[in-house]
Structure 1
Amino acid sequence: MNPEKKKKMLSYVYLIIAFLAIGLVLAYFQSSDLEVNRAAIHFVHPKTSDDALTTPAVVYIWATWCGVCNTNLPIVKMNAGLAQKLGVPFYSLEEGNDPEKLNSYISEKELNFPVGLLNEELINSYRINGYPTTLFINSKGAILFKDTGIINPVSFYIRSLFIKLF
């Protein structure tokens, strides 16, 4: 490889690393004073105990009516698989109050991770301002990272490792 191309490629690598680092810092500061609220979670799929939220864990918050959430679904499924391979439980909470409609959506989209209902108490305690939102919770129950929007698999993997280690 010629030196000019090598230099250009290296600058792209540094740029990607810088963006990932900035994203981690921003996600950390968004979550710095949030605590896990387990009391209000009701899981509808699969049959999961309502106190099943364990830590460390990733909690994906979404809505069936959200266009970004629906577009993001293949990435979410991939991220859930990554979490499973890392040994980090992956839960999702859907903004809604109709378990029948949600179960139909789950079947249609072939979701294979726990899905709970998100209620007003959780929306307020997690300060949900938009969908989708992803919370990364460490073993002490502290929310280390809070991201709103689509999260790429590389960032997801790094954050999942962080919550396992810290």
Structure 2
Amino acid sequence: MLFVPLLIFIGLGYFLWRGLSIDPTELPSARLNQPFPAFELASLTEPSRMMTQDDLKGRPALVNIWATWCPTCKEEHAFLNQLAQQGVTIYGINYKDEPLKAREWLKRYLDPYAEVVLDKDGSLGIDLGVYGAPETYVIDAKGVIRYRHVGAVDAVVWKDLKAVMDQIEAEGAS
């Protein structure tokens, strides 16, 4: 009976120590190394055209979840434009947003996206396991999710994303 408080203290100390060693920015993705989830949603730029996961296939690319209501998305947008100018293929998923505002945003801040999927009700985001905007995925040419980043893409994050894309390119060449 005398050692019960000591055992409880040791057990609690272990769980607290373990919790401190976990990186809170590293969120697991159930979709990692699996095909991009199936969807059929309208294009933001051509509302009469329906898009599917097949529209994202063909070459390694980034898939960026964004919204006009997201201040961090605005922070990363200029960098995404730089990447697009360098030839990086970026697909956008406009997440839980108003289409008119999103189209105005792309006119005002420029459009880095090869295609933009309108996910107005967030159903695709739910299938992807999106926690919020922005999130960026790296997909290979077959549409398989190879990497996930939660938060803004900047020069530091781009190094990790580029390393994954380079690895995909190298695997495709061999």
Q: CA deviation at 1:138?
A: 1.4
* Residue 60 of structure 2 corresponds to residue 54 of structure 1: no
Equivalent position of 1:154 in the other structure = 159
Letter in 1 for 2:95: E
CA distance in 2: counterparts of 1:155 and 1:95, whole angstroms: 24
Q: Which amino acid aligns with 2:56?
A: L
Could you tell me the percent identity over the aligned residues? 20
The answer for the alignment partner of 2:98 in structure 1 is 98
Corresponding residue number in structure 2 for 1:42: 42
Asked if the contact 2:62/2:137 (under 8 Å) is kept, the reply is: yes
Contact (CA 8 Å) 1:34, 1:126: kept in 2 or not?
no
Alpha-carbon offset, residue 109 of structure 1: 1.0
3-state SS of 2:51 partner: coil
User: Unaligned stretches of 5+ in structure 2?
Assistant: 1-22
Alignment: residue pair count: 137
In 2, are the aligned partners of 1:95 and 1:117 still within 8 Å (CA)?
Answer: yes
Which deviates the most, 135-144 or 30-39?
A: 30-39
RMSD: 2.7
Aligned positions of 1:122-141 closer than 5 A: 122-141=124-143
- For 1:50, what is the secondary structure of its paired residue? strand
For residue 44 of structure 1, give the secondary structure of its aligned residue in structure 2: coil
- How far is the alpha carbon of 1:140 from its aligned partner? 3.1
Q: Secondary structure at the match of 2:92?
A: strand
**Structure 2 counterparts to residues 5-154 of structure 1, below 5 A:** 30=29, 31-32=31-32, 34-45=34-45, 50-51=51-52, 52-55=55-58, 56-82=60-86, 84=87, 89-113=89-113, 114-118=115-119, 119-151=121-153, 152-154=157-159
Question: 1:57 is matched by which residue type in structure 2?
Answer: A
Distance in 2, Cα, partners of 1:97 & 1:65: 7
> Which has the greater radius of gyration?
2
Return the structure number with greater relative CO, CA threshold 8 A, min gap 6. Answer: 1
Return the offset for 1:161: 1.7
Q: With the length of structure 2 as denominator, give the TM-score of the two structures.
A: 0.65
Check the 8 A contact 1:138/1:163 in 2, yes or no: yes
Displacement of 1:97: 4.6
More helix by share: 1
**Displacement after TM superposition at 1:101 (Å):** 1.9
TM-score by length of 1: 0.68
